[in-house]
Structure 1
Amino acid sequence: MNRANKYTFRLPAEWEKQSGIMLIWPHNETDWQPCLKEITTTYLELADVITRYEKLLVVAQYIEEVKKLLAEHLKAEQFQRIVFRQCSNNDTWARDVAPITLLPMAEYLKANIAPHLLDFCFNGWGEKFKSDKDNCINRQLYFTETFKGVLENHKDFVLEGGSIESDGRHTLFTTTSCLTAQHRNQPLTREDIEKRLLEIFPDMHRVVWIEHGELQGDDTDGHIDTIFRCAPNDTLLYIGTDDVNDIHYNDLKALDKQVQSLRTLDGKPYRLYKLPLPEAIYDEGERLPATYANFLVLNGAVIVPTYNQPRNDKQALDIMQEVFPGYDVIGVDSRTIIRQHGSIHCLTMQFPEGVL
């Protein structure tokens, strides 16, 4: 594990102060090729929003083209907040490729202990897609001095950032469908995986396994960030539907029942908010995994995926404003993103303060 003392580290909540957000830029040799113009427009919108609030790390295969594009699109002061790094990439899902950061616990801050950036194995969500280039990005970033911290090697363990959530209070949430899926960490059992997670994230006192909610069209075997998210003040958000004709209805009812039963480590109920399930969106007959749970928290803002569904979009944005009072809540049309089976949180990775 390469830590002098593993108990000096903690996994920060996503809403803690950040130093920046990472994006991996799409190009013609990725699966975005058929809709490259549309997804580039979405990326420019994301870059515009992010750089209003904090730094942006742009990882790109064709770096000079991307620099020119962003310089033309952004205000000069926003462009100055971008850190560019050239890396080859298979795809663009930074949440599952980028390192997961641990910070020193408060009592060790004066000891000048560096953050640790955990470099897990990314294998294309269970060997479904090519991942050789993506799996090398973290080391390339580290050796170009992108991060202020220590890269910690966990290449013997498959773990994607979108597969875990933390309430910021010693509970780690994940889904059984994803972490026990084939071609990830066999022959490890669920008990083996839980033990490993608690070793890797030493400030976590328990792992809670979510058993329901996988969306049609989700290539990840049920990443938790598509169905269930944590927020400040012991708050949980999760998706649901009252449409008995929706194929997800029974499974989401079971998810609702499980979430209602959850308690904090202190034995208290969580504050619960049920996000609407967007109306079904199809691409060539395939249902796409549209979800409002895949939001991104910034310093002072929340970016929420929208789907040109005024009633549902407004309901999701209103809920997010209630959950994050004092934050700017900004909707970004994510209909192009879901064509490749993810959304805004999947495309991005945050780095805590002092890392980027």
Structure 2
Amino acid sequence: MSNIVLPAEWAPQCAVLLTWPHEQTDWAENLPQVETTFLEIAKAVCKYQNLIISCQSFDRLEKIADALHAAGIPPEKVGLYCVPSNDSWCRDHGPITVYDGHTPVLLDFRFNAWGGKFDYEKDDQITTSLLELGAFDGAAIRHIPYILEGGSIESDGQGTVMTTSECVLTATRNPDATKESVEASFKEYFGASRVLWLDHGYLAGDDTDSHIDTLARFCDEETICYVQCNDPSDEHYDALKKMEGQLQAARKADGSPYKLIPLPMADACFDDEGHRLPATYANFLIINGAVLAPVYGVPQDQEAISQLKFCFPDRTIEAIDCRSLIEQHGSLHCVTMQLPDGVI
């Protein structure tokens, strides 16, 4: 029997990891706005736990340190490291941490920017670079020659991994992937005893081929919240109704149904060229004592916060304006990666 456990996101954490945006990325045009968002995330995280930030250059490191100081964040709460990056989607290029027995192990999967859509060579090296710089002083590391992004998987901490077939079966990631081979890989890498597959789900403006963390999330071992669309005229309606039906048919390991909590579909947000942006309330981050919830300045924000309070009654909901993040087709969970207890 495997000793490997992929902890749920609500398990105790030691820190959150961020890869700070910079001028040589697609963030350049709205860098001040997105840095404000990153600073708000940093402030919220540091109320509850530590933070590790990697940034492009020593010049940027000094500016970030000054901004954190001005925001009242104690310097001892933050580790700052200079590591080159292509982009800021830490959820997908960062390490996925498992416990092997009681030892935290960083799984360093290959990252190829969601099937080679963008440049990724620097991002694929960030975890190794941070380890060499001493950022992860309490964990071992395993380099795995398999392409997988953190946003593509959800764990209940009890052996169930939830994922989407549209993402993990794409030939541009692992060409020979089948449901059977993915399940075998998840058993090997995560100690998974079963995989909960979603075959439907779609989010306009999403570059990830339907990452699970944009669509449906475990809130505890018995509860899944998910994006619901009730407007037949919305382009998401058919796919999300099919996803909802699949979730209703899903069963826990003991054969009983999950408790399902819908999150609203946000009013459509568009970029300057009229392309719809992926505004999703499922892209929240669970940390110690709190949930960081993305909001977008639309009427559904308050309903989403209320639903998340219902999902997480024992945690504080910290709303973060993520309108700037969706300009580059991701949101709050996408730019963060939690580190479970023991990694630092």
Query: Do Structure 1 and Structure 2 share a fold, with TM-score over 0.5?
Result: yes
Select which of 78, 81, 100 maps to 2:96. Answer: 100
What's 2:54 paired with?
59
Distance 2:293 2:58 in 1: 27
Instruction: Tell me, in whole angstroms, the C-alpha distance in 1 between the residues paired with 2:129 and 2:16.
Output: 17
Q: Indicate the larger mover: 229-238 or 27-36.
A: 229-238
Cα RMSD for the two superposed structures: 1.4
Q: What's the counterpart of residue 329 of structure 2?
A: 341
- Which residue is equivalent to 1:16? 11
State the partner residue of 1:88: 84
Report if aligned partners of 1:217, 1:288 keep a CA contact under 8 Å in 2.
yes
Question: Could you tell me which residue of structure 1 aligns to residue 245 of structure 2?
Answer: 257
| Cα distance, 1:212 vs structure 2 | 1.0
- Summarize deviations over 1:35-91 as a string: whole Å, max 9, x none: 111101111111111111110000001244334334344455533200011100000
CA contact (8 A) 1:213 1:252 kept: yes
Where 1:42 maps in the other structure, the secondary structure is helix
- In the alignment of these two chains, the number of paired residues is 341
Following superposition, the deviation at residue 233 of structure 1 comes to 4.3
1:146 aligns with 2:142: no
> Secondary structure of the equivalent of 1:199?
helix
| 1:24 Cα deviation after fit | 0.3
Compared with structure 1, are the counterparts of its residues 146 and 261 closer, same or farther at alpha carbon in structure 2 (3 Å cutoff)? same
Which amino acid in structure 2 is aligned with residue 325 of structure 1?
P
1:351 aligns with 2:339: yes
Distance (whole Å) between structure 2 residues aligned to residue 273 and residue 192 of structure 1: 31
Match of 1:218 among 195, 206, 210: 206
Amino acid at match of 2:143: N
Deviation at 1:188, TM superposition (A): 2.9
Conserved in 2, the CA contact under 8 Å of 1:63 and 1:84? no
Equivalent in the alignment of 2:112: 123
Give the equivalent residue in structure 1 for 2:180.
191
Residues in 2 aligned to 1:201 and 1:269: alpha-carbon distance in whole angstroms: 23
Q: Map 1:1-356 to 2 at 5 A.
A: 7-74=2-69, 78-105=74-101, 109=102, 114-147=103-136, 148-154=138-144, 156-202=145-191, 204-283=192-271, 284-310=273-299, 312-356=300-344
Counterpart code for 2:77: R
C-alpha separation between the residues in 2 aligned to 1:273 and 1:182? 32
Deviation at 1:169, TM superposition (A): 2.0
Paired residue type of 1:209: W
| SS of equivalent residue, structure 1 residue 230 | strand
Q: CA deviation at 1:196?
A: 1.3
Counterpart amino acid of 1:29?
Q
- Unaligned ranges ≥5, structure 2: none
Measure, in 2, the Cα distance between the counterparts of 1:183 and 1:233. 32
1: CA distance, partners of 2:249 / 2:73: 47
Shift of 1:16: 0.7
Deviations 1:223-253 (A, max 9, x none): 0000010012411011011111101111111
Aligned counterparts of 1:300 and 1:67: Cα–Cα separation in 2:
30
Bigger mean CA offset, 262-271 vs 183-192? 183-192
Q: Does the Cα contact within 8 Å between 1:44 and 1:70 map onto a contact in 2?
A: no
Q: Percent identity?
A: 42
Structure 1 unaligned spans of 5+: 1-5
- Provide the rounded CA distance (Å) in 1 between the counterparts of 2:220 and 2:156: 7
Q: Counterpart in 2 of 1:3?
A: none
- Between the aligned partners of 1:191 and 1:298, the Cα distance in structure 2 is 32
Shift of 1:285: 1.2
Rounded to whole Å, the distance in 1 between the matches of 2:330 and 2:233 is 24
Question: In structure 2, the residue corresponding to 1:68 is in which secondary structure?
Answer: helix
| Counterparts of 1:104 and 1:190, CA distance in 2 | 25
* Secondary structure class of the residue paired with 1:340: coil
- On the 8 A contact 1:101/1:351 being kept in 2, the answer is yes
Change (3 A) 1:247 1:354: same
User: Alignment partner of 2:127: what SS?
Assistant: helix
Supply the distance in 1 between the matched residues of 2:158 and 2:217 (Cα, whole angstroms).
14
Q: CA deviation at 1:341?
A: 0.5
